[in-house]
A and B are shown apart, each in its own frame.
Chain A
Amino acid sequence: MTDQRIDTDALVVGAGIAGLQSALDLADRGYKVLLVEKTASIGGKMIALSKVFPTMDCASCITTPRMSSAAHHDNITTWTYTDVDSIAPDGTAFTAHLTRKARYVDEDLCIGCRLCEYACPVELPHEFEGNMGARRAAYIPFGTAIPQKALIDIDACVYCGKCEKACPTDAIDFGQEPVSVTVHARSVVIATGFETTPLDAKKEYRGGVAANVISALDMERLLSPNGPYGRVLRPSDGKIPDSVAYVQCAGSRDETLGVPYCSRVCCMYAIKQTMLLSGSLPLADITVYYMDIRAFGKGYEQFYQTARSMGINFVKAKVARIEEEPNGDLRLRVEIIEEDGRVTEAVHDLVVLSVGLKPGDDPRRFIGVDLDQYGFVASPEPKLDATLTSMPGVAAAGTAIGPKDIVDSIVEASAAATKIATYLGPPPNSPQVPEDGLAVDVREIKAGDALAVAGRSEVQRG
C-alpha cells in the first residue's frame, strides 16, 4: 500500500444525490470539496431509478447532469471505489483515513472503450440491474456511470488475460493494490444514503425464494428504458405479466422487523410504478394492497388521485402470506380490511414488495456521531437544524438522517451545505457586507432595538 495525503475544506462521504448536492453547493460557494463514494460510480440509488414522482422526469435526465457537474467542477475532487475507514477530530480539523480500492485498471489510462468488457468471458449477475441482467468480470458499472472507467471483479476473474490483450491503452493492471490516503478535512458531510430492507425480511412473502416476488427497486430497472430486458417481463420465465400486485409496507411499519417507522417513499414509488406499468402493460390488472396511502408531498395527492382514476386498483388490506404456484404464479392470502372484511385469495403473476428504507451504512464505523435507535444520524436540534450532528463541523444529509424522497433529500443537502459553510467561515476572496449601500434608516437600527420600532421617531433615532 502506498500513502497519499490531501487537504480539503469539506469531505463529503457518499456520492448519491444528497452528497452530490451538498458537494455542488459548497463548491459553488468556493470551498474545496473531496467527494468520496464506495461504489465504482457516483449517482447513488437515484441513477438506477426509471422515472421520478410526481413529475415523471426520467431519473437519468435529472441525475446525470448533477453527476456531470460534480465530476467537472473545479472545486470538487471525486474519488469513487473508495472506502472511508475512519474520521476523527484532530484539534482544528479532521483526519480521515480512506482506502482507494484496487480497480485493477489504471484510471488515468482507461478511456472507457469497453473492449475489456467485450473480451471478458466471465458472466455474472448484474447488481445494478437487480441481478436480472448480466455483466462481465471486467466491466463499466453501467451505461451512465461516472467515471466511465472499467474495473475488474477480481473475485470472479479467471485470469485469462483476454482483457489485458484487448485493452488499447494498457490500462489493465493485475498488480494494482489498494491505496491508503490520509485526508485533512476541515469539515465533513455524511451522505451515506440508504439500503432497502431485505427482500426476504418477511419469510411469509417468499421474497428471495420465489423468482416472481421482486423488490420495487428491481421493478425500477424493469421499467427503465435501458433496463435488463428493455421491457417488463417476469424473471422466472420471461412472461409478460397480466396481473401485478404491490404489497405495501413490506418492510416498514413493522415492529417485528425492527422497522416500526414509515419509509416515506414506498407509497409514492409504488403509485409511480403502477402508472408506468399501466402504460407499458395496458392490458394488465394492477392491484396495490396497502394500509394507508401516504401521498403527502407537493403534488403527491394529485398524483395518487390520477393513478386511481387510471384504474389502478387500491385495496386496503393485509397480505398474510404468499405462495408460489408450480407455473411461477403467486397466490396471495389477503385480509381485506374494508368492504366485508373477508379473508380471500388472489393470484397474480408478478408480485412487487414495496420494501422500506434503512441506513445504507453505519456511520459509527468511521465517525463518532450520535445515531438514533434505528441507525440514522441524529441531530441535537431536530426541529431547527435537522442536518446538524453531535459533532461540530460534521453535518448529515438525505437518507442517512432518515427515509425521505429525492426532493426532501436535495433540499436537506443544500441545508447541510449551509451548516458546513457557516462552520467553515467565508472562503477566501468572499465579498464583505458593504458598509454603505443600505438605506440609512435601516442600517442604523441595532438588532434588538429594531424590534421595538414604534414609528418614525424611533426609526430615525437609530
Chain B
Amino acid sequence: MAERRSKPKGADKATPATPATRATPQQPVRGEKVGVYVCHCGGNISDVVDVDRVATEASQLEGVAVARHIMFMCSDEGQKAIVDDIEALGLDRVVVAACTPKLHEATFRRALQRGGMNPYLFLPANIREQASWAHPHSPKAATEKAIALVRAAVAKAEMLEPLDKVRVAAVHRSLVIGGGVAGLRAALDLARQGVGVTLIEKSPFLGGRSVQLHTVFPTEDPARPLVHRLIDEVKAERNVSILTNTEVVALTGYVGDFTITLRTTPRGVSRDLRKSAEAIAACPVKVANEFNDGIDERKAIYQPYPGSEPDLPAIDWATCTRCGDCLTAAGAGIDLNAEPVETRIEAGAIVVATGFDHYQPRPGEYGYAASPRVVTLPQVHRMLDPEGPTGGRLEIDGRVPRSVAFIHCVGSRQIEGVDEPGPAGKLHEYCSRVCCTATLQAANELRKKYPDTAVYDLYRDIRTYGRDQEPYYVDSSKKGVVFMRFANEDRPKVEVVEGANYPLKVTVTDTLTFGAEIEVPVDLVILSVGVQPRDISEFIDMTHAPVGADGFLLEVHPKLRPVESAIPGLLLAGTVQAPMDITESTSAASAAAAKVTALLASDHVEMEPFVAKVDPSRCDGCGLCLDACHYAGAIALQDVEIEEGVVEKRAYVNPVACKGCGACVPSCPVSALDVASWEIDQYKAMIDAITAQPLIAGAR
C-alpha cells in the first residue's frame, strides 16, 4: 500500500517546509517480547492493588517476556529496569502499569529511547487513577481491575507500530500579546536571545497597569520611570517590532508556524502633531478617564500622562465625533479618516501577556456607587500620585478626609451563599494576592501624609507574604492604623448617614475585640478590589486555549509546566494566568521566554505522531471525511497516481494540521481511516482481552 501513495501535489501553506516524516509503512510486526512493569507508586497503588499478583498474572500472558513490580517506576531505578531488560531480553514492546499517562508517558518513552527502542512501542496502563484511587476500599476488585487493564494494555501493545515524530519547520520569530510589564519583559528577553518579536498592545499606549501606580512595593521606586526603563530597553532592540492599537483578529497554524492576522486601529495622530495641548483643548468630547480609573474626565483625543509611550496623543474612535476641531486647532498631524490596517505575520510561538482587570464592585456593594465617598484602591492610587489628577492629594469635596476605612477582599475570596456571583455567573473564590500589600502601602502613605487622618483597616487575613512586604504590616501598626478583622461570613456594612458629622458609617463585627459590633464613622471608604481575568474570549475561541475554573488561562501543570498552555506554542506570562505582582509577572515572562527559546532552539519543532492516517487501498476519494474534520487543512483530497497513468482523488492527511481527534474515522464508509496508535483493531483487541476472563463478581 505504501508504494502506491505518491506525494501530494500542490503543497499549500499548511504543508510544512520540511516534509513530515512518518513511520516507514511496512507489514506490522506483532510484539512477541513484551516487558510489563507494575508500579507501587510508593503505596499509592500497592496499598490497594496487589502489585505482586498483577505482575504474576501479566507474566503468564502470551507474548510477555518479563513482568516486574517496582516501588517507583518513574524513578531512575524503574527506568533502568526497562533499559536493562531491553538489552538483556530484547524486549520489543513495553507496558508500564502506573499512574495517568499525563504524568509519565514522556518519561517512559524516553527510557525506551535510551534502551534503543522506538519510543512509540510503549503503552501505559493506568492502575492508579483507574484502580487504586478509584476503589480504595475494595482491594480485591481493584486488583482484578488492574489485571484486566494490564491484559488489555498488553493486547494493544503487541499491535503497536513504530512511529516517528512529525517535524515542522520553525519560524524563528514570536508574537507577544500585551504591552504591560510581562509582555515587555518577555519581548526583551526573547529579542536579546536572538528570537524576533512582534509585540502588540491593544491600547494606544505601552506600560499596562503598572504605569497607573506612582510607586511600586516593596522598593518604593517610582513606577513610571521603572516601566519606561523597560520600554526603552525593548525599543533599543533591533529584533522587536512594536505595534500599539493592535489586536489579533485571526490565527491559524500550529507551534513553529502560526500565521496571525493583526488589526491595527489608526492612532489618528502622527509625529507631525506639534500642538498636542491645543488639539486636546479644542476637543469638545468628555468621557470618563480610564487611566485615572474614572475619577476625572478626558477628551476623545487624549494622552494618559506626559511622556507616555508613545509620547503622542491618540484618538478614541468610540467617542470621537469627527468634528475636526482638534485638527483646526493643531493645524497638522491629525488624520480623522485613517482606516484600520490588517497585517499578516508568522510566528513560531506566542506569548500571551494580556493582563488583568480590576474587580468592579456591584452598585451597593459596600456602598459603592451609592456614595461618591466609596472609592476603589486603584482610584486612590491615582489620587496619591503627585502627577495624578489631584496632584497627589487625597481629597473628597476639596477636603482631606478625617477618617478613612479600607475594606479588604472586595471581589476576592468570595464564598458561595455570602457573595453574589459576577456578570459571568462566577464567584471569585481566589485570593488576588497583591491587594493586602498594596492596601497597607497606601494605608502607610496616608498616615505619613495626613497624620491627622484616622485609618481603619478591615481585613480577613493580612497576606504580606512577599520579600520585604511584612514591614508594611508591622509599620502600619506602628503608625497607628487600626486593624479590625471580620469573619468570612460576616461582612462589614457601609451606610450613608445624612446630616451626620461623618457622612459614612461602617459597621463591623470585629473578631479581634471579641466579636463586638463596632461602628466606625468615616469620610471615605476605600475598597481593596481584587484582580479578575480580562475578557479575551475571542482569542480563546481562536486558539482553544484552556481556561481554569477561576477564569484565568490554565497552565498544563502548575509544577511540571507552569508557564505553558496545553496548546503547543502558546505560553503564558503574568496576570493572564493568575493574580501576580510585578516581580512575579516579570519572572513568569522570563520563564515563558525560556520555553520559547527552547522550542525554537533548532530549525524545526517536533510534534507527536498520533494523527489520522489513510489506507489508500481502501479510500475511494468520496470526501466525507473532509466534512467531518474539525481542523482547517488537516484532510484534503489529492490527486494520486494509483497505477501507471491512472490518477484518482484520495484523502490525504496533513500530519501537522491534524490533531488526532479521530472525528474523521467513523465518517469513512470504507474504513480507510484510523488514528496512529489509537486504531480500531487495537481497541477490539483490548476489549477482547478485558472480556476474556470474567471479573470476580462482588469481589471486595
Contact = CB atoms under 8 A, between A and B. Distances in A.
Interface of A: 25, 28-30, 52, 54-55, 57-58, 60-62, 64-65, 67-69, 71-72, 112, 143-144, 146-148, 224-226, 230, 253, 260-262, 264, 292-302, 305, 316, 337-341, 372, 376, 382-387, 401-402, 406-408, 410-419, 421-422, 426-427, 429-434, 437-439, 441-443, 445, 447-448, 450-459
Categorize the interface residue count of chain B: 35 or more
Interface in B13-46: 41-44
Given A25-B594, A260-B474, A459-B264, A426 B103 contact: no
A305 B582 CA distance: 27
Contacts of B466: 262, 264
A69 B578 CA distance: 28
Contact of B235 (A29, A52, A146, A451): A451
B144 interface: no
B335 A457 contact: yes
Contact of B269 (A253, A293, A413, A454): A454
B597 A421 contact: yes
A148 B344 CA distance: 53
B469 to A, nearest CB: 7
Contact of A443 (B99, B192, B241): B241
Contact of A68 (B76, B267, B552): B76
A30 B194 CA distance: 14
Given A450-B244, A453-B244, A459-B264, 15 more contacts: A25-B595, A143-B72, A148-B76, A292-B462, A293-B461, A299-B558, A383-B583, A384-B226, A385-B586, A386-B587, A411-B563, A411-B587, A437-B173, A437-B346, A447-B235
Contact of B590 (A58, A415, A426): A415
Interface stretch (B278-286, B443-451, B510-518, B676-684): B510-518
A418 B433 CA distance: 25
A29 B413 CA distance: 40
B274 to A, nearest CB: 14
Give the 10 A-B CB pairs with smallest separation, nearest first.
A225-B43, A455-B266, A455-B338, A415-B590, A414-B591, A451-B310, A298-B578, A292-B461, A225-B42, A301-B431
Nearest to B591: A414
Contacts of B198: 442
B240 A447 contact: yes
Interface stretch (B288-296, B357-365, B598-606, B685-693): B598-606
B267 A426 contact: no
Contacts of A28: 598, 601
Contact of B71 (A65, A226, A415): A226
A329 to B, nearest CB: 29
A417 B563 CA distance: 14
B341 interface: yes
B594 A417 contact: yes
B420 interface: no
A412 B79 CA distance: 29
A297 B206 CA distance: 27
A437 B267 contact: no
26 contacts: A25-B598, A29-B594, A29-B601, A57-B559, A64-B72, A64-B74, A264-B466, A298-B579, A302-B429, A338-B511, A383-B219, A383-B582, A413-B591, A414-B591, A415-B594, A416-B590, A418-B590, A418-B594, A429-B602, A431-B600, A432-B172, A433-B194, A450-B241, A453-B246, A454-B335, A456-B339
Contacts of A432: 172, 194
B270 interface: yes
A297 B588 CA distance: 14
A429 B600 CA distance: 12
B196 interface: yes
B470 A253 contact: yes
Contacts of B230: 384
B559 A62 contact: yes
A323 B651 CA distance: 79
Interface in B198-231: 198, 206, 216, 219, 221, 226, 229-230
Nearest to A24: B598
Contacts of B267: 452-455
Contact of B310 (A230, A416, A452): A452
A52, A413, A442 — which one has the most chain B CB atoms within 10 A of its CB? A442
A337 B512 contact: yes
Contacts, number: 326
A433 B241 contact: no
Contacts of B319: none
Interface in B567-610: 577-579, 582-584, 586-591, 593-595, 597-598, 600-603
B700 interface: no
Nearest to A58: B44
B338 A68 contact: no
B42 A224 contact: yes
Given A143-B72, A418-B193, A422-B189, A383 B221 contact: yes
B514 A298 contact: no
A410 B559 contact: yes
Contacts of A316: 485, 511
B463 interface: yes
B59 interface: no
Nearest to B210: A383
Given A29-B597, A55-B558, A451 B339 contact: no
A352 to B, nearest CB: 20
Contacts of B558: 54-55, 298-299, 407
A61 B189 contact: no
B9 interface: no
B515 A64 contact: no
B312 interface: yes
Contact of B601 (A30, A292, A442): A30
B563 A414 contact: yes
Contacts of A434: 171-173, 196
Contact of B170 (A60, A262, A431): A431
A301 B429 contact: yes
A302 B430 contact: yes
A68 B79 contact: yes
Given A28-B598, A385-B586, A418-B193, A61 B171 contact: no
A439 B338 contact: no
B110 to A, nearest CB: 7
A433 B583 contact: no
Contacts of B235: 447-448, 451
B464 interface: yes
B77, B245, B468 — which one has the most chain A CB atoms within 10 A of its CB? B77
A430 B271 CA distance: 38
B619 interface: no
Nearest to B179: A451
A55 B47 CA distance: 21
Nearest to A54: B558
Interface string B231-275: 000111111111111100000000000000010101111110000
Contacts of B536: none
Given A305-B429, A426-B194, A456-B338, A451 B172 contact: no
B512 A338 contact: yes
A60 B470 contact: no
A131 B103 CA distance: 31
A54 B513 CA distance: 33
Contact of A261 (B412, B467, B485, B582): B467
B465 A415 contact: no
B495 interface: no
Nearest to B428: A301
A429 B77 CA distance: 34
B562 A29 contact: no
Contacts of B429: 301-302, 305
Nearest to A51: B44
Interface string B287-330: 00000000000000000000001101000000000000000000
